[in-house]
Structure 1
Amino acid sequence: MDRSEVSDLTVFLAIAEHLSFRGAAVRMGVTASALSHTLRQMEERLGVRLFNRTTRKVALTDAGLQLLQRLRPAFDEIGEALKDLDEHRGRPLGLLRLHVSQFAAMTLGPVWKRFMATYPDVRVELATDPRMSDIVAEGLDAGIAPRMWVAADMVATRVVGPFRVAVAGAPSYLAVAGRPERPEDLARHDCIRLRSTHDRKPFPWRFVDPVGEVGVTGRLITDDPEIGVRTAVDGLGLVYTAEERIRPFLETGQLVRLVEDWCPDFDGLYLYYPGHRHVPTVLRALIDTIRMPERDT
């Protein structure tokens, strides 16, 4: 078998694993059209169709499934052999692809700093596009998000948290609208509502029992938490978000915490990855970094 055949089989395995040209292309760092061209040439050379594909779906043919079943164990063995070499080297290397929520990207600065300082041969690619919710289909190694967004078949470990929820407003807004003393008072205020990028529904404003959820209204709704916070700083209404997100504005006095005694905690952020896959060395290194106690420098 020559080098080009090995390359073609690698392309085949990537497409078969993701059943998506886009996901396989992201994984391999090439374009989807390049993978399609390689696969077409491979099928012509072999004289057999390996995939049935339409504009919406990619599926293995019987011949493709048979080839996958024979190839996967062999390539898994190769992967394990290379992993063993990495362990002998004593330090991981390569590219780690992650999907992270905007909040995670902002909050986990200390984790990224420790990780990249500890593993200088590792490169990290962070995707924040909320439409990339299926990390397997997109060719990503793992994701970081609130627990409620993590699919049941994923392995999940908490990265940071729990966090305290905060309701806050700018002094300029409170000077005009007054200060709410209890959660029920929020119904009479202009509240900046944040909408989920997953189901497009506004996040509820929940408080500790017996208050529970409070119905709020407002003229601004957004799916970008940063816009929500900035408009609150500008005095356009009250915002309900994680305390970590607005801490700098609380410290400078640009925002003021409200109804603090009724604000609940939420579970925090989780690193998640497919449970059926071998965990790449670079991902294992990130997990170790997350679990490592943070030292003062």
Structure 2
Amino acid sequence: MAKPTLADLRAFMAVAEHRSFRRAADLMGMTRSSLSHAVRGLEDDLGARLLHRTTRSVALTEAGERLLRRLDPLLHDLDQALEAVAGEHGQVQGQLRINGNESAIRLLLHTVVPAYRARYPRVELDLSAEGRLVDIVEQGFDAGIRLGEAVPKDMVAVPLGPEVRFLAVAAPAYLAIHPAPTLPDGLAEHQCIRQRLPSGKRYRWEFSKRGQVMEIDVPGALTLDHSGLMVEAALQGLGITFVPEAYARQALDDGRLVSVLEDWCPPIPGLMLYFPANRHMPGSLRALIDLIRETAAGGAP
């Protein structure tokens, strides 16, 4: 029996973890045909079928399940050993993939990415700003960035930014004709500028006050998918919109917009970097977390 190579074993691991040749090939920087050839070569070397393949899915055989259970801790231990040796000489390296929305990735770029690139030039950063909430493990990301309330409960979260606040805002001209609501359910009598989330669902406005929480699917004839555009629509007097305060702050300061229901809009936990608790943490991610904490503590990056 030919002895399997480490590259072939890693190829099998990638396909087994993501249940997809396409996704595994993208993550490994290989073509699907090369990846498929590597896995078939491993099966030939072992004399056992490891994967059930169809045109739509990939599933592990019983032999594949057994190999994955034994191989997973071994390769993770190997990766940790290699990273430890490299880390002793300041050589953090590899690829670090992070998923977030546009504002999250922009915050990362403005706070720690320049210092991280200077300190760890051998790490390749792959930052995805697609905005859609995804399963970061299934999609092959090392970490994600989301508002604290959107982080899955089984993840470890590290604060990346300050608290944020969503505000309901409208132009004075609109409110002169349509008096401001005093309670969130009063929004039913207004034209609201609604938001379409990347998932395709419409965002339900969330309000809270003294423990009372209200979640409202507001009415409105205009729906947009970007907070900046929603602010522009409000400035045109088209209705009330609900956006992170930062998007409306300048217009609020110069009087072009007015906030309504402000006492129903408390701050909420801000952006968090999150990652699985039960998986080996690559050295590149550990280095990023250390830098985030260093920056938050006021240390010079």
Alignment TM-score, normalising by the size of structure 2: 0.82
248 and 89 in structure 1: CA distance in 2 versus 1, 3 angstrom threshold: farther
Distance 1:72 1:196 in 2: 36
Equivalence for 1:5: 5
Identity %: 41
Distance 1:246 1:2 in 2: 65
Equivalence for 1:110: 111
236 and 122 in structure 1: CA distance in 2 versus 1, 3 angstrom threshold: farther
CA deviations on 1:29-85 (whole Å, 9 max, x unpaired) are 234444234323433454421111234432211222232234334322321221112
Check the 8 A contact 2:227/2:244 in 1, yes or no: no
**CA RMSD between the two structures:** 3.2
Distance 2:121 2:31 in 1: 28
Distance 1:57 1:28 in 2: 19
Bigger mean CA offset, 83-92 vs 265-274: 83-92
Check the 8 A contact 1:26/1:138 in 2, yes or no: no
CA deviations on 1:66-105 (whole Å, 9 max, x unpaired) are 3223433432232122111222122523321001123322
CA deviations on 1:112-150 (whole Å, 9 max, x unpaired) are 344334434433211133456111121110101123332
SS at match of 2:233: helix
Check if 1:280 corresponds to 2:282: yes
Equivalence for 1:261: 263
Aligned AA for 2:138? A
277 and 116 in structure 1: CA distance in 2 versus 1, 3 angstrom threshold: same
| Unpaired runs of at least 5, structure 2 | none
Distance 2:237 2:31 in 1: 45
Aligned AA for 1:58? V
Bigger mean CA offset, 188-197 vs 95-104: 188-197
Alignment TM-score, normalising by the size of structure 1: 0.83
Q: CA deviation at 1:219?
A: 0.9
Distance 1:226 1:232 in 2: 10
Equivalence for 2:151: 150
Check the 8 A contact 1:157/1:272 in 2, yes or no: yes
Aligned AA for 2:126? E
Aligned AA for 1:24? A
Check the 8 A contact 1:233/1:254 in 2, yes or no: yes
Equivalence for 2:60: 60
Counterparts of 1:111-260 in structure 2 under 5 Å?
111-131=112-132, 133-170=134-171, 173-174=174-175, 177-178=177-178, 180=180, 182-184=182-184, 186-198=187-199, 200-209=201-210, 212-213=214-215, 216-251=218-253, 255-260=257-262
Aligned AA for 1:42? L
SS at match of 2:160: strand
Bigger mean CA offset, 213-222 vs 154-163: 213-222
SS at match of 2:5: helix
| Unpaired runs of at least 5, structure 1 | none
Aligned AA for 1:129? E
220 and 92 in structure 1: CA distance in 2 versus 1, 3 angstrom threshold: same
Equivalence for 2:35: 35
Distance 1:33 1:173 in 2: 59
Check the 8 A contact 1:207/1:263 in 2, yes or no: yes
